[in-house]
Amino acid sequence: MRIYLPLAANDLFEPQLYSPYCWTGNQSFSNLWGLDPLDSEQAEDMAMSMAAMDCLGKVIEGYQGRIVAALDADVSELNGQNTPGVLAVKGAFTWQRLVSVHLDLSENLPLCEQVRRAITVAQAKAWCRGDFTSVPDGSASNEPLGLNDIEAGKNTDIAGVENAESTAQGLELWRQLAAEPLSWFDASELEYLRRYLRES
């Protein structure tokens, strides 16, 4: 099973690869986000994106971008899911298990920082799990945000946002960032990424 671990920059320098929970594009995840259950590639891409958006729920210093590690895990290495597509991780993985790393490069960092300022940690945690019940009427419904809503974020103009602390405006920024793709790096490029992050 391909899983996606949300990380902070300092996690890439740890002896082992670990996050307390991971995302995976399983059937329940596809149902939550309104994805075609037969389109595994779309589900995997969305799972990676939502793992990335969970990074915004961490209070960190330094590099503010999103980082996701992809690897293959056995079901026995994971605990049951508490949210569709989100599973608890039993223990750390060796770095040899790493398949790829996905992260924001410099052009996306200003938007990452803007979203972090605009939304709370609790909102970041809830929204990447498909829970939009805290969004005021008129800006979103209580229904899960579908793939088309994420894609619509690409057309959002953030230049005129006057009050980034507003939940509705924060959601618009969140949508735009969720629509931004992450850069892909093979596991063999891990040392290069570590150097990049040290310099960042």
Q: Which is nearest to 88 in space by CA: 172, 23, 135, 14? A: 23
Tens digit of each residue's pLDDT (9 = 90 or more) over 142-153: 444 555 555 545
Q: Sorting pLDDT into bands at 50, 70 and 90, what band is 199?
A: confident
Q: Please enumerate, as own/partner, the contacts of 28-35 that have beta carbons within 8 Å and a separation of 24 or more.
A: 28/81, 28/84, 28/85, 29/84, 29/85, 29/86, 31/84, 32/84, 32/85, 32/130, 32/144, 33/130, 33/144, 33/145, 33/146, 33/147, 34/144, 34/146, 34/147, 35/147
Closest C-alpha to 176, from 49, 45, 30, 29: 49
- Average predicted confidence (pLDDT) for the chain: 86
Lowest pLDDT segment from 22-31, 32-41, 159-168: 159-168
What is the average per-residue pLDDT within 11-22?
Answer: 96
Q: Say if pTM beats, i.e. exceeds, 0.75.
A: yes
Tens digit of pLDDT for each residue in 31-57? 999 999 889 999 999 999 999 999 999
User: pLDDT band at 138, cuts 50/70/90?
Assistant: very low
Q: Crossing angle, helix 109-118 and helix 167-178, to 10 degrees?
A: 150
The domain of 160 spans 2-199
Task: Provide the pLDDT for residue 23.
Answer: 97
How does pLDDT run across 86-113, given as a tens digit for each residue?
999 999 999 999 999 999 989 999 999 9
- The predicted pLDDT at position 38 comes to 87
200 confidence band (pLDDT: 50, 70, 90) = confident
Is pLDDT of 137 > 60?
A: no
Number of structural domains, the chain?
Answer: 1
